[in-house]
Amino acid sequence: MGPLHFTGESGRLECDYCGSSFNTAEIEALYGEKEANAVEAAQNAAEAEQAIADGSDWDTSGLSEDWGADAGSIKAYCCPSCGAELLCDATTAATSCPYCGNPSVLPGQFSGILKPDFVLPFKLSKEDAIKALKKHYLKKPLLPSTFSKANHLEEIKGVYVPFWMYDGEASGSAQFHATQVHTYTSGDYEITETSHYDVRRAGSIAFEKIPVDASSKMPDDYMDSIEPYDYAELRPFSTAYLPGFLADKYDVSVEDSRNRADRRCAGSLADALETALPAMDDTAFAVAQQWKDMDCYDFAGSGFEYACAFFGQAKVFEAIGRQAMYINTEEWLHLNFFVNHPEKIGTMIWAAEDNKADSRTLETIGYAKQLGRPLAIVTDREMPDETQAAVFVIPKAKNVLAESLYNFVPACLVFGYLMTMLGERSGRGCEGPWSFSKGAACVRQSEIVMVDD
């Protein structure tokens, strides 16, 4: 059988010679048999060599089996196609035979605790990668010709890199000094009044599947630069995805990778607080001034941004105690679109560029502007021509796990400012009609009923 390779476009393993294709289950069964045969062949070859050595009259006393420091880093395997011996790095899990070119998954490298849980299959073929690289080179006129020569491009190889994935949580806080300047005339005097505010913000963020590469041969900054990874494309691990590509097993333990995962959590949070908050502060203050006399507030988002809309409503209740509603962007067009006095409804819409509902969200923004809604847009794209709405441009997340924190920062800022401007206290300060809730008494004093099923 000719060599097989995994094709991202079809999601199957294909043969270049006869055009046959197979699913991963079929190939797993085949590779199980081939691996057993390869192990048996290696044992037989070793026994044959020993038998020849035992019956030989040649003097082999000068030969040494001591590989020194290299002994632990080199392993020998038999090619299951042509039988040639392959010498490989101890961490190599898949390679190609230099004699027959057949892709080989090395026996035993993914057994027991070394077996990964998931694999992110390649989407591009080698031809697609070469085409993209050539297109990139066209924009680099001063690039040395060595880089763009055909024989150099043909050396492109796909490599599967092992990763650990961590779950965790990080929290942090930031403090700012803010001022509001008001200038007015009184008689012959021009008076400038400056109000000073101590602005405090805190946040926490939960992380899932923080990727940390587990190969010492791969530079960490290279791996970080190609994030974020599309976890929706993760598949249960199978060696059937490996033919046609190089692959390593991990040589950096989960314990040794933990500190880097911790640093990535803390770094993502710090970047979010340091970069996003100051950049959006002026916009948030201007929106708060415009919205302080609004009757109510609308928050709309789709997909992963729907949770941000919910959070916006909750922030209104907590900070200023006015009416608010969160809603899916599509439903907004069928319901909230018809509410009277649109000019008195502060409206915040989330519009991430990679949201699958992006085209519908942009329509919603257009209709909200036609209605005269006081509008704020939270997006990760530049909108330099937008004049009818306040735009919060959040940084594109280096890691998708930080995206939610970036997204709800604008609502925190706007209604934090509004709470100060209106003289409100968080949760009404548990005063007046809310005095009975002080210290969560309304929860602690509630009746507890045990229900026996």
Give residue-wise pLDDT tens across range 283-292: 999 999 999 9
**Cα 112–Cα 113–Cα 116 angle in degrees, nearest 5:** 100
Give one DSSP letter per residue of 276-291, joined into a string: IHHHHHHHHHHHHHHH
Return the amino acid letter for 403. Answer: E
CA distance 303 to 224: 26
Q: Residue 262: what are its φ and ψ, rounded to 5°?
A: -60, -45
Q: Where are the beta strands (DSSP E) in 97-154?
A: 103-105, 118-119
86-95, 152-161, 315-324, 443-452: least confidently modelled range: 86-95
- Report the SS3 class of residue 48: helix
Q: What is the pLDDT of residue 347?
A: 97
| pLDDT value, residue 131 | 84
**Among candidate residues 385, 395, 365, the one with its CA nearest the CA of residue 377:** 365
The arithmetic mean of pLDDT across residues 428-453, rounded, is 74
Task: Say if CB 241 and CB 119 are below 8 A apart.
Answer: yes
Cβ atoms of 86 and 42 closer than 8 Å? no
At residue 289, the 3 state secondary structure works out as helix
Q: What is the pLDDT of residues 75-120, one digit of tens each?
A: 666 666 666 666 666 666 666 666 566 666 666 555 555 678 888 8
pLDDT in tens, 240-288: 777 777 777 788 888 888 888 777 766 665 665 566 677 788 899 999 9
* Euclidean distance between CA atoms 201 and 176, whole angstroms: 8
Query: How far apart are the C-alpha atoms of 65 and 145, rounded to whole Å?
Result: 45
State residue 257's pLDDT score.
83
Q: What is the pLDDT of residues 325-354, one digit of tens each?
A: 999 999 999 999 999 999 999 999 999 888
The answer to whether the CB of 294 falls within 8 A of the CB of 418 is no
Condensed to tens digits (0 to 9), the pLDDT of residues 33-73 reads: 666 666 666 666 666 656 555 555 555 555 555 555 555 55
- Distance from the Cα of residue 92 to its chain's centroid: 27
pLDDT, averaged across the chain = 77
Distance, first Cα to last Cα, the chain? 63
**Mean of pLDDT values over 306-319:** 92
Q: What would the two tokens of residue 177 be?
A: 């000094």
pLDDT tens track for 394-419: 876 655 555 666 788 899 899 999 99
